[in-house]
Amino acid sequence: MFKKGVIIKTNNLRAGLKVNWDYKLIIYFTLFLSGVIIGVLLIKNAGEDFNRFFCDLLVNHVNAKKNNSFLTDFCFALLCLVLLFFINYLCSLSAVGFPFIWLLLTGFGVWCGAVISEFLISFGLKGLGFCLLVQVPCYAITAATLVCCCCEGTKICNNIFFYLFGNCGFVTSKGLLLKEYTLKYALMCSPLILGALLSSICFKMFSGFFTFV
């Protein structure tokens, strides 16, 4: 798929890890927030049967997690996050992957909005308190990391796209090899460890104060 010696156009590794708050990041944050709003509206306007089904699904998940050890909970949370970001990584290596990156980011926003909205509608302030103490810290770290990775992944998609159509998206100097991009992407995903750890800690600390039936 990649020719030997072909380099992806970008700055060096250290510069690539720096996040500049430009219009692209704002657009991607807007996509995520749009997904959150969509998720809230979906739950708010959903039928009673769907809300009951989704609420039972979330409650069963929470109650099942209470029986897990801290290590099991941490590993499961980290595995889910790694899977999400691995899908984004694969999309970034496709010339036509950027629409799927947008959908992935928006979809994560929809999930966050739907979960928080369901807890609030079904359990009121108790559900909102649970989300703020247990769910939101991990969601916030994951969303911020995903926005940065999606922004970077879209740049690679564009480079591949322009290269395939004979443009200068790929160059042979002052660039980044595929393996170096992979390393940079892995480093950008490092906050996921903190997110999974924080999720497990918050759940063990605060879930005992909430009972959902």
Residue 178: per-residue pLDDT: 77
| Per-residue pLDDT in tens (0 to 9) along the chain, 213 residues | 444 444 444 444 444 444 444 677 888 999 999 999 999 999 999 888 898 999 999 999 888 888 888 899 999 999 999 999 999 999 988 888 888 999 999 999 999 999 999 999 989 899 899 999 999 999 999 999 999 999 888 888 888 877 777 655 454 434 456 778 888 899 999 999 999 999 999 998 888 888 776
Residue 158: per-residue pLDDT: 80
Residue 167: per-residue pLDDT: 55
Residue 112: per-residue pLDDT: 95
Instruction: Report the predicted TM-score, pTM, of the whole model to 2 decimal places.
Output: 0.81
Quote the CA–CA distance of 175 and 7 in Å, as a whole number. 5
Largest CA distance in the chain: 60
Quote the CA–CA distance of 10 and 169 in Å, as a whole number. 10
Residue 88: per-residue pLDDT: 93
Residue spans of the domains in the chain: they are 7-209
For residue 105, give the amino acid letter: L
Quote the CA–CA distance of 135 and 22 in Å, as a whole number. 28
Residue 138: its H or E element:
helix 136-164
